[in-house]
Amino acid sequence: MTTLTERQRLILALIIHTYVETAQPVGSKALIERYKLDTSSATIRNDMVELTEAGYLRQPYTSAGREPTEEGYRYFVRQLMGQTELPMNTRRTITHQFYQAGRDVNRWMRLAASVLAHQSQGASLVTSPRPESARFKHLSLISTHGRQVLMVMVWTGGQVRQQMLTLAEPVSQEQLSTAAGHINLVCEGLDTDGIAALRGQFDALEQDVIKLIREEQDRMKQVVSGEVYRDGLTNVLAEPEFAESESARKALRVLEERSMLEDLLSRTVLTSGMDDVQVLIGGEGTWEDLRDCSMVLGRYGAPGLVTGALGVLGPTRMAYGRTVSTVRFVSGLLSDLVIEMLAEEN
Amino acid sequence: MTTLTERQRLILALIIHTYVETAQPVGSKALIERYKLDTSSATIRNDMVELTEAGYLRQPYTSAGREPTEEGYRYFVRQLMGQTELPMNTRRTITHQFYQAGRDVNRWMRLAASVLAHQSQGASLVTSPRPESARFKHLSLISTHGRQVLMVMVWTGGQVRQQMLTLAEPVSQEQLSTAAGHINLVCEGLDTDGIAALRGQFDALEQDVIKLIREEQDRMKQVVSGEVYRDGLTNVLAEPEFAESESARKALRVLEERSMLEDLLSRTVLTSGMDDVQVLIGGEGTWEDLRDCSMVLGRYGAPGLVTGALGVLGPTRMAYGRTVSTVRFVSGLLSDLVIEMLAEEN
DNA sequence: GTTTAGCACTCTCGTGTCGAGAGTGCTAAA
DNA sequence: TTTAGCACTCTCGACACGAGAGTGCTAAAC
Which pLDDT tens digit goes with each residue over B257-305?
988 898 888 888 767 777 789 999 998 878 888 988 999 999 999 887 7
> Which pLDDT value is given to residue A205?
84
CA–CA dist B56, B74 (Å, integer): 9
Distance, Å, A76 CA → C2 C1':
26
A18 phi/psi in degrees, rounded to 5: -70, -45
A270 CB contacts (<8 Å, ≥6 apart)? A223, A299, A307, A309
* ∠ CA B248-B251-B253, rounded to 5°: 105
A60 phi/psi in degrees, rounded to 5: -60, -30
Contact B245 A249 (CB under 8 A): no
Contact B345 A150 (CB under 8 A): yes
Per the CB < 8 A criterion, the answer to whether B77 and B44 are in contact is no
Helix spans in B54-104 (H): 70-75, 88-100
Query: Across residues B25-43, what is the average pLDDT?
Result: 88
Contact B106 A140 (CB under 8 A): no
Chain C bases closer than 7 angstroms to a protein Cβ: 3-6, 9-12, 22-27
Contact A140 B138 (CB under 8 A): yes
Give just the sign of the alpha carbon dihedral A16, A21, A26, A32: negative
B155 CB contacts (<8 Å, ≥6 apart)? B131, B134, B135, B136, B137, B161, B217, B220
CA–CA dist B57, B48 (Å, integer): 8
If pLDDT is split at 50, 70 and 90, which confidence band does B226 have? confident
Local structure of B67: helix, strand or coil: strand
Contact B145 A243 (CB under 8 A): no
pLDDT digits (tens, 9 = 90+) for A154-170: 887 667 777 778 788 88
Q: Which window residues (50-69, chain A) lie with Cβ within 7 Å of strand C?
A: 61-64
For residue A237, give the nearest of B104, B232, B245 by CB distance.
B245
Report the mean per-residue pLDDT for chain B. Answer: 87
- C-alpha distances (whole Å) from B203 to each of B163, B183, B188 are 20, 11, 18
Local structure of A320: helix, strand or coil: helix
**Taking a contact as any Cβ pair under 8 Å apart, which residues of chain A between 129 and 188 contact chain B?**
137-138, 140, 142, 144-146, 148, 150, 152, 154, 158, 160, 162-164
What nucleotide is nearest B66 when CA is compared to C1'? C23
- C-alpha distances (whole Å) from A283 to each of A125, A279, A319 are 17, 10, 17
If pLDDT is split at 50, 70 and 90, which confidence band does B112 have? very high
Helix spans in A286-319 (H): none
CA–CA dist A33, A30 (Å, integer): 5
* ∠ CA A91-A13-A86, rounded to 5°: 0
Closest to A291 (Cα-Cα) out of A280, A283, A301, A302: A283
**In chain A, what residues touch B256 (CB-CB under 8 Å)?**
231-234
**Taking a contact as any Cβ pair under 8 Å apart, which residues of chain B between 245 and 264 contact chain A?**
245-246, 248-249, 252-253, 256
Does the CB of A40 fall within 7 Å of any strand D atom? no
pLDDT digits (tens, 9 = 90+) for A108-137: 999 999 999 999 999 999 998 887 767 888
Does the CB of B59 fall within 7 Å of any strand C atom? yes
CA–CA dist A238, A219 (Å, integer): 38
Q: Which window residues (316-345, chain A) lie with Cβ within 7 Å of strand D?
A: none
Task: Please give the residue that has the higher pLDDT: either A16 or A291.
Answer: A16
- The answer to whether residue A174 scores a pLDDT higher than 60 is yes
The fraction of chain A above a pLDDT of 70, given in percent, is 95
> Which pLDDT value is given to residue B341?
81
Per the CB < 8 A criterion, the answer to whether A269 and A224 are in contact is no
Radius of gyration of the CA atoms of chain B, in A: 26
Residues paired with residue B301 on neighbouring β-strands, in sequence order = B307
> Which pLDDT value is given to residue A72?
93
> Which pLDDT value is given to residue A223?
54
Residues A9/A10/A14/A20 CA torsion (nearest 10 deg):
40
**Residue A31: CB atoms within 10 Å:** 22
CA–CA dist A175, B15 (Å, integer): 67
CA–CA dist B128, B105 (Å, integer): 8
| Distance in Å from the first CA to the final CA of chain B | 55
Parallel, antiparallel, or unpaired: how do β-strands B306-315 and B130-131 relate? antiparallel
CA–CA dist B148, B170 (Å, integer): 8
> Which pLDDT value is given to residue B322?
95
> Which pLDDT value is given to residue B344?
67
> Which pLDDT value is given to residue B224?
57
- The answer to whether residue A307 scores a pLDDT higher than 80 is yes
Report the mean per-residue pLDDT for chain A. Answer: 87
What nucleotide is nearest B31 when CA is compared to C1'? C23
B323 CB contacts (<8 Å, ≥6 apart)? B119, B120, B122, B296, B312, B314
Closest to A237 (Cα-Cα) out of A219, A255, A211: A255
If pLDDT is split at 50, 70 and 90, which confidence band does B225 have? low
Helix spans in chain A (H): 6-22, 28-35, 41-53, 70-75, 88-100, 105-120, 173-187, 192-196, 204-219, 233-237, 245-256, 258-267, 320-345
> Which pLDDT value is given to residue B2?
60
Query: Across residues A247-266, what is the average pLDDT?
Result: 89
Per the CB < 8 A criterion, the answer to whether A109 and A229 are in contact is yes
Assess B304–A contact: CB distance below 8 Å, yes or no: no
Assess A231–B contact: CB distance below 8 Å, yes or no: yes
For residue B244, give the nearest of A243, A343, A345 by CB distance.
A243
Considering only CA atoms, which residue is closest to the C1' of nucleotide D1?
B43
Lowest mean pLDDT among A164-168, A293-297, A317-321, A328-332: A164-168
Does the CB of A2 fall within 7 Å of any strand C atom? no
Radius of gyration of the CA atoms of chain A, in A: 26
